[in-house]
Amino acid sequence: MVLDWNVFREQSREHDTYRRQIIRWFGDFPSENSPFSIHRLVEAGKSHGKQPGDWYGPSSVAFILRESMQKAIETQPLLENVVVYVAQDCTVYKKDIHEMCCARGRSTTKFGSSSDSTETVVDTQTEEEEWKRAAIILVPVRLGGEELNPVYIPCIKSLLAQDGCIGIIGGKPKTSLYFVGWQDDKVIYLDPHYCQDAIDTRERNFPIQTFHCLSPRKISLTKMDPSCTIGFYCKTRAEFNSFVKQTEEMISPPKQKLSYPMFVFNEGNSTDANIESDSFEKEDCLLRVKHYKMDQYGRIRSGTEETEEFVVL
Protein backbone atom coordinates (compact mmCIF):
# COMPACT_ATOMS: atom_id res chain seq x y z
CA MET A 1 0.00 0.00 0.00
CA VAL A 2 1.20 3.54 -0.74
CA LEU A 3 0.49 6.86 0.93
CA ASP A 4 -1.63 8.15 -1.97
CA TRP A 5 -3.82 5.04 -1.99
CA ASN A 6 -7.51 5.87 -2.45
CA VAL A 7 -10.46 3.55 -1.89
CA PHE A 8 -12.38 5.14 -4.77
CA ARG A 9 -9.73 4.27 -7.35
CA GLU A 10 -9.66 1.01 -9.23
CA GLN A 11 -7.68 -1.48 -7.17
CA SER A 12 -5.15 -3.93 -8.52
CA ARG A 13 -5.35 -7.51 -7.30
CA GLU A 14 -2.13 -6.99 -5.34
CA HIS A 15 -3.46 -3.90 -3.54
CA ASP A 16 -6.75 -5.64 -2.78
CA THR A 17 -4.87 -8.59 -1.29
CA TYR A 18 -2.79 -6.30 0.92
CA ARG A 19 -5.85 -4.35 2.00
CA ARG A 20 -7.68 -7.50 3.07
CA GLN A 21 -4.62 -8.76 4.92
CA ILE A 22 -4.34 -5.50 6.87
CA ILE A 23 -8.02 -5.75 7.81
CA ARG A 24 -7.51 -9.37 8.94
CA TRP A 25 -4.79 -8.23 11.33
CA PHE A 26 -7.45 -6.13 13.08
CA GLY A 27 -10.24 -8.73 12.90
CA ASP A 28 -12.29 -9.28 16.05
CA PHE A 29 -10.92 -12.71 16.90
CA PRO A 30 -8.51 -13.81 19.68
CA SER A 31 -6.31 -15.43 17.05
CA GLU A 32 -2.64 -15.00 16.22
CA ASN A 33 -3.83 -14.16 12.71
CA SER A 34 -5.46 -11.03 14.17
CA PRO A 35 -2.61 -9.64 16.33
CA PHE A 36 -4.27 -6.22 16.67
CA SER A 37 -7.76 -7.44 17.58
CA ILE A 38 -9.41 -5.93 20.64
CA HIS A 39 -8.79 -9.25 22.40
CA ARG A 40 -5.05 -9.16 21.74
CA LEU A 41 -4.69 -5.48 22.65
CA VAL A 42 -6.49 -6.01 25.97
CA GLU A 43 -4.22 -8.97 26.68
CA ALA A 44 -1.15 -6.82 25.95
CA GLY A 45 -2.55 -4.11 28.21
CA LYS A 46 -2.33 -6.43 31.23
CA SER A 47 1.46 -6.16 31.18
CA HIS A 48 1.03 -2.39 31.55
CA GLY A 49 -1.32 -2.68 34.53
CA LYS A 50 -4.47 -2.30 32.44
CA GLN A 51 -7.55 -4.45 32.97
CA PRO A 52 -10.51 -4.95 30.62
CA GLY A 53 -12.76 -1.93 30.97
CA ASP A 54 -9.95 0.40 32.12
CA TRP A 55 -9.32 3.72 30.40
CA TYR A 56 -6.41 3.56 27.96
CA GLY A 57 -4.73 6.92 27.45
CA PRO A 58 -2.95 7.81 24.18
CA SER A 59 0.46 7.10 25.70
CA SER A 60 -0.58 3.67 27.01
CA VAL A 61 -2.02 2.80 23.60
CA ALA A 62 1.32 3.64 21.94
CA PHE A 63 3.26 1.22 24.14
CA ILE A 64 0.62 -1.48 23.78
CA LEU A 65 0.73 -1.16 19.99
CA ARG A 66 4.50 -1.48 20.06
CA GLU A 67 4.33 -4.59 22.21
CA SER A 68 1.62 -6.07 19.99
CA MET A 69 3.78 -5.49 16.92
CA GLN A 70 6.71 -7.27 18.53
CA LYS A 71 4.53 -10.31 19.22
CA ALA A 72 2.89 -10.17 15.79
CA ILE A 73 6.24 -10.53 14.04
CA GLU A 74 6.52 -14.06 15.43
CA THR A 75 3.54 -15.26 13.38
CA GLN A 76 3.12 -12.65 10.62
CA PRO A 77 6.22 -12.56 8.37
CA LEU A 78 4.98 -9.50 6.46
CA LEU A 79 5.26 -7.42 9.62
CA GLU A 80 8.98 -8.16 10.00
CA ASN A 81 9.59 -5.25 7.64
CA VAL A 82 8.08 -2.71 10.05
CA VAL A 83 9.15 -1.56 13.52
CA VAL A 84 7.22 0.57 15.99
CA TYR A 85 9.14 3.24 17.90
CA VAL A 86 7.64 5.11 20.87
CA ALA A 87 9.28 8.41 21.83
CA GLN A 88 10.33 8.84 25.45
CA ASP A 89 9.70 12.07 27.34
CA CYS A 90 8.68 13.86 24.13
CA THR A 91 12.09 13.07 22.61
CA VAL A 92 12.70 11.18 19.35
CA TYR A 93 16.17 9.61 19.50
CA LYS A 94 17.34 9.44 15.90
CA LYS A 95 20.12 6.93 16.49
CA ASP A 96 17.66 4.50 18.09
CA ILE A 97 15.47 4.61 15.00
CA HIS A 98 18.38 4.18 12.58
CA GLU A 99 19.66 1.16 14.52
CA MET A 100 16.22 -0.43 14.69
CA CYS A 101 15.60 0.02 10.97
CA CYS A 102 19.06 -1.19 9.93
CA ALA A 103 18.69 -4.36 12.00
CA ARG A 104 19.20 -7.64 10.19
CA GLY A 105 16.94 -9.76 12.37
CA ARG A 106 15.49 -10.26 15.83
CA SER A 107 17.53 -10.42 19.00
CA THR A 108 17.28 -9.02 22.52
CA THR A 109 19.11 -5.71 22.23
CA LYS A 110 17.26 -3.04 24.21
CA PHE A 111 16.69 0.59 23.32
CA GLY A 112 15.86 2.99 26.12
CA SER A 113 14.34 2.01 29.43
CA SER A 114 12.42 -1.16 30.17
CA SER A 115 9.27 0.70 29.20
CA ASP A 116 10.58 1.39 25.71
CA SER A 117 12.52 -1.61 24.47
CA THR A 118 12.45 -3.37 21.16
CA GLU A 119 13.88 -6.61 19.89
CA THR A 120 16.44 -6.17 17.16
CA VAL A 121 20.01 -6.82 16.12
CA VAL A 122 22.16 -3.70 16.10
CA ASP A 123 24.45 -3.02 13.17
CA THR A 124 27.20 -0.68 14.32
CA GLN A 125 27.69 0.70 10.80
CA THR A 126 24.31 2.45 10.52
CA GLU A 127 25.33 6.02 9.76
CA GLU A 128 24.83 5.68 5.99
CA GLU A 129 23.41 2.18 5.67
CA GLU A 130 20.08 1.81 3.93
CA TRP A 131 17.15 0.84 6.09
CA LYS A 132 15.97 -2.75 5.97
CA ARG A 133 12.70 -1.99 7.73
CA ALA A 134 10.21 0.87 7.76
CA ALA A 135 9.39 2.77 10.95
CA ILE A 136 6.12 3.73 12.58
CA ILE A 137 7.02 6.54 14.97
CA LEU A 138 4.59 7.26 17.81
CA VAL A 139 5.09 10.43 19.87
CA PRO A 140 2.95 10.81 23.02
CA VAL A 141 2.56 14.50 23.95
CA ARG A 142 0.49 16.73 26.19
CA LEU A 143 -0.38 20.08 24.67
CA GLY A 144 -1.82 21.96 27.60
CA GLY A 145 -3.28 21.55 31.06
CA GLU A 146 -6.99 20.84 31.26
CA GLU A 147 -7.57 22.12 27.72
CA LEU A 148 -5.60 22.24 24.49
CA ASN A 149 -3.28 25.25 24.41
CA PRO A 150 -4.40 27.12 21.25
CA VAL A 151 -0.81 28.09 20.40
CA TYR A 152 -0.30 24.49 19.22
CA ILE A 153 -3.19 24.50 16.73
CA PRO A 154 -0.98 25.67 13.79
CA CYS A 155 1.49 22.91 14.69
CA ILE A 156 -1.23 20.25 14.66
CA LYS A 157 -2.44 21.42 11.25
CA SER A 158 1.07 21.35 9.80
CA LEU A 159 1.81 17.87 11.13
CA LEU A 160 -1.48 16.40 9.90
CA ALA A 161 -0.75 17.82 6.43
CA GLN A 162 2.55 15.92 6.24
CA ASP A 163 2.69 13.02 3.79
CA GLY A 164 4.19 10.78 6.46
CA CYS A 165 1.67 11.56 9.21
CA ILE A 166 -0.64 8.61 9.86
CA GLY A 167 -2.94 10.44 12.27
CA ILE A 168 -3.33 11.35 15.91
CA ILE A 169 -4.60 9.08 18.68
CA GLY A 170 -6.59 11.31 20.99
CA GLY A 171 -10.11 12.53 21.46
CA LYS A 172 -12.18 14.97 23.40
CA PRO A 173 -12.97 14.68 27.13
CA LYS A 174 -14.34 11.19 27.91
CA THR A 175 -14.35 10.21 24.23
CA SER A 176 -11.60 8.51 22.21
CA LEU A 177 -11.20 9.61 18.60
CA TYR A 178 -8.70 9.15 15.78
CA PHE A 179 -7.79 12.38 13.97
CA VAL A 180 -6.79 12.08 10.32
CA GLY A 181 -6.89 15.63 8.91
CA TRP A 182 -8.33 19.12 9.24
CA GLN A 183 -10.49 21.63 7.42
CA ASP A 184 -10.61 25.30 8.38
CA ASP A 185 -10.62 25.34 12.20
CA LYS A 186 -11.95 21.82 12.60
CA VAL A 187 -10.22 18.48 12.80
CA ILE A 188 -11.49 15.45 10.86
CA TYR A 189 -11.88 12.30 12.91
CA LEU A 190 -12.97 8.67 12.88
CA ASP A 191 -15.03 7.41 15.82
CA PRO A 192 -14.06 3.89 16.99
CA HIS A 193 -17.31 3.66 18.98
CA TYR A 194 -19.48 3.63 15.85
CA CYS A 195 -21.14 0.21 15.71
CA GLN A 196 -21.03 -1.94 12.58
CA ASP A 197 -22.17 -5.47 11.81
CA ALA A 198 -19.50 -8.01 12.70
CA ILE A 199 -17.52 -9.29 9.71
CA ASP A 200 -15.84 -12.69 9.65
CA THR A 201 -12.41 -11.72 8.33
CA ARG A 202 -11.42 -15.39 8.29
CA GLU A 203 -13.39 -15.82 5.09
CA ARG A 204 -11.50 -15.44 1.83
CA ASN A 205 -13.61 -12.69 0.22
CA PHE A 206 -15.25 -11.02 3.19
CA PRO A 207 -17.12 -7.71 2.56
CA ILE A 208 -14.97 -4.64 3.19
CA GLN A 209 -17.42 -1.75 2.78
CA THR A 210 -17.86 -1.18 6.51
CA PHE A 211 -14.11 -0.77 7.00
CA HIS A 212 -14.15 2.53 5.10
CA CYS A 213 -15.80 5.76 6.22
CA LEU A 214 -17.42 7.78 3.44
CA SER A 215 -18.58 10.63 5.69
CA PRO A 216 -16.00 11.47 8.37
CA ARG A 217 -17.00 13.89 11.10
CA LYS A 218 -15.38 17.07 12.37
CA ILE A 219 -15.00 18.88 15.67
CA SER A 220 -13.38 22.18 16.58
CA LEU A 221 -9.64 21.96 17.14
CA THR A 222 -10.12 23.76 20.45
CA LYS A 223 -12.15 20.78 21.74
CA MET A 224 -9.29 18.32 21.31
CA ASP A 225 -8.04 16.77 24.53
CA PRO A 226 -4.46 18.00 25.19
CA SER A 227 -3.22 14.43 25.70
CA CYS A 228 -2.57 12.66 22.39
CA THR A 229 -0.14 10.50 20.44
CA ILE A 230 1.02 11.61 16.99
CA GLY A 231 1.94 8.92 14.46
CA PHE A 232 4.34 9.01 11.51
CA TYR A 233 5.49 6.49 8.92
CA CYS A 234 8.92 6.52 7.28
CA LYS A 235 9.84 3.79 4.83
CA THR A 236 13.45 4.73 4.08
CA ARG A 237 16.35 6.65 5.62
CA ALA A 238 15.81 9.43 3.09
CA GLU A 239 12.14 9.72 4.09
CA PHE A 240 13.11 9.87 7.76
CA ASN A 241 15.73 12.57 7.19
CA SER A 242 13.19 14.59 5.23
CA PHE A 243 10.61 14.02 7.97
CA VAL A 244 12.99 15.31 10.65
CA LYS A 245 13.90 18.41 8.65
CA GLN A 246 10.28 19.31 7.92
CA THR A 247 8.98 18.48 11.38
CA GLU A 248 11.55 20.54 13.25
CA GLU A 249 10.07 23.59 11.51
CA MET A 250 6.51 22.65 12.50
CA ILE A 251 6.62 21.61 16.16
CA SER A 252 7.27 25.02 17.72
CA PRO A 253 4.30 27.42 18.00
CA PRO A 254 4.77 30.43 15.68
CA LYS A 255 4.99 34.03 16.86
CA GLN A 256 5.95 33.09 20.42
CA LYS A 257 8.71 34.82 22.39
CA LEU A 258 9.84 31.54 23.94
CA SER A 259 10.04 28.22 22.11
CA TYR A 260 8.04 25.36 23.63
CA PRO A 261 8.08 22.65 20.95
CA MET A 262 5.58 19.80 21.00
CA PHE A 263 8.52 17.38 21.04
CA VAL A 264 12.20 17.38 20.10
CA PHE A 265 14.74 15.32 18.16
CA ASN A 266 17.99 14.06 19.68
CA GLU A 267 20.96 12.88 17.59
CA GLY A 268 21.96 10.17 20.08
CA ASN A 269 20.06 7.28 21.58
CA SER A 270 18.00 6.88 24.72
CA THR A 271 20.57 4.61 26.37
CA ASP A 272 23.22 7.34 26.25
CA ALA A 273 20.74 9.83 27.67
CA ASN A 274 19.92 7.52 30.58
CA ILE A 275 23.60 6.91 31.32
CA GLU A 276 24.27 10.65 31.27
CA SER A 277 21.43 11.34 33.69
CA ASP A 278 22.74 8.64 36.05
CA SER A 279 26.31 9.99 36.00
CA PHE A 280 25.70 13.15 38.02
CA GLU A 281 27.55 13.42 41.32
CA LYS A 282 25.37 13.71 44.40
CA GLU A 283 26.57 17.29 44.80
CA ASP A 284 25.11 18.13 41.38
CA CYS A 285 21.72 16.80 42.47
CA LEU A 286 21.37 19.01 45.54
CA LEU A 287 19.07 21.99 45.53
CA ARG A 288 19.90 24.45 48.28
CA VAL A 289 17.09 26.62 49.56
CA LYS A 290 17.76 29.66 51.72
CA HIS A 291 15.11 31.12 54.00
CA TYR A 292 15.17 34.78 55.00
CA LYS A 293 13.09 36.50 57.66
CA MET A 294 12.02 40.01 56.77
CA ASP A 295 10.57 42.84 58.79
CA GLN A 296 7.37 44.71 57.98
CA TYR A 297 9.27 47.04 55.67
CA GLY A 298 10.68 44.20 53.53
CA ARG A 299 14.18 44.43 54.98
CA ILE A 300 16.15 41.23 55.65
CA ARG A 301 16.71 40.65 59.34
CA SER A 302 20.30 39.62 60.12
CA GLY A 303 21.14 36.29 61.65
CA THR A 304 18.02 34.53 60.44
CA GLU A 305 19.37 32.67 57.39
CA GLU A 306 18.77 28.94 57.22
CA THR A 307 19.71 26.40 54.55
CA GLU A 308 17.93 23.21 53.52
CA GLU A 309 19.03 20.63 50.98
CA PHE A 310 16.72 18.68 48.71
CA VAL A 311 17.84 15.84 46.47
CA VAL A 312 16.72 16.35 42.87
CA LEU A 313 15.70 12.94 41.49
Beta strand 165-172 with 227-234 is antiparallel
> Which residue range forms the structural domain that includes residue 102?
71-196+214-278
Structural domain contains residue 49: no
Beta strand 264-266 with 286-291 is unpaired
Same domain, 264 and 238: yes
Same domain, 272 and 250: yes
182 close to 157: Cβ distance less than 8 angstroms: yes
Identify the sign of the CA torsion 98, 104, 105, 108.
negative
Identify the sign of the CA torsion 211, 201, 65, 56.
positive
167 close to 180: Cβ distance less than 8 angstroms: yes
Structural domain contains residue 58: no
Structural domain contains residue 12: no
How far is residue 260's CA from residue 206's CA, in Å, rounded to a whole number? 48
Same domain, 163 and 294: no
Structural domain contains residue 8: no
Same domain, 171 and 300: no
Same domain, 304 and 220: no
Quote the pLDDT of residue 127.
Answer: 60
What global pTM score does this model have? 0.80
How far is residue 101's CA from residue 233's CA, in Å, rounded to a whole number? 12
pLDDT digits (tens, 9 = 90+) for 29-55: 998 999 999 999 999 999 888 888 888
Same domain, 147 and 287: no
Structural domain contains residue 33: no
Same domain, 113 and 256: yes
- Nearby residues of 132 by Cβ (< 8 Å), 6 or more positions away: 81, 101, 102, 103, 104
Give me the amino acid identity at 287.
Answer: L
Structural domain contains residue 152: yes
Quote the pLDDT of residue 108.
Answer: 36
Quote the pLDDT of residue 225.
Answer: 94
* pLDDT, one tens digit for every residue, the chain (313 residues): 555 667 777 778 888 888 899 999 999 899 899 999 999 999 999 988 888 888 889 999 999 999 999 999 999 999 999 999 999 999 999 999 999 999 865 533 444 443 444 444 444 455 678 899 999 999 999 999 889 999 999 999 999 999 999 999 999 877 899 999 999 999 999 998 888 888 999 988 898 888 888 888 999 999 999 999 999 999 999 999 999 999 999 999 988 777 789 999 999 888 876 655 554 454 555 555 555 555 555 556 655 444 444 444 3
Quote the pLDDT of residue 104.
Answer: 65
Same domain, 124 and 161: yes
Quote the pLDDT of residue 300.
Answer: 60
How far is residue 58's CA from residue 19's CA, in Å, rounded to a whole number? 25
Same domain, 272 and 297: no
Same domain, 144 and 262: yes
Structural domain contains residue 41: no
Terminal alpha carbon distance of the chain: 46
Tally of structural domains, the chain: 2
Structural domain contains residue 38: no
Same domain, 269 and 304: no
Same domain, 134 and 257: yes
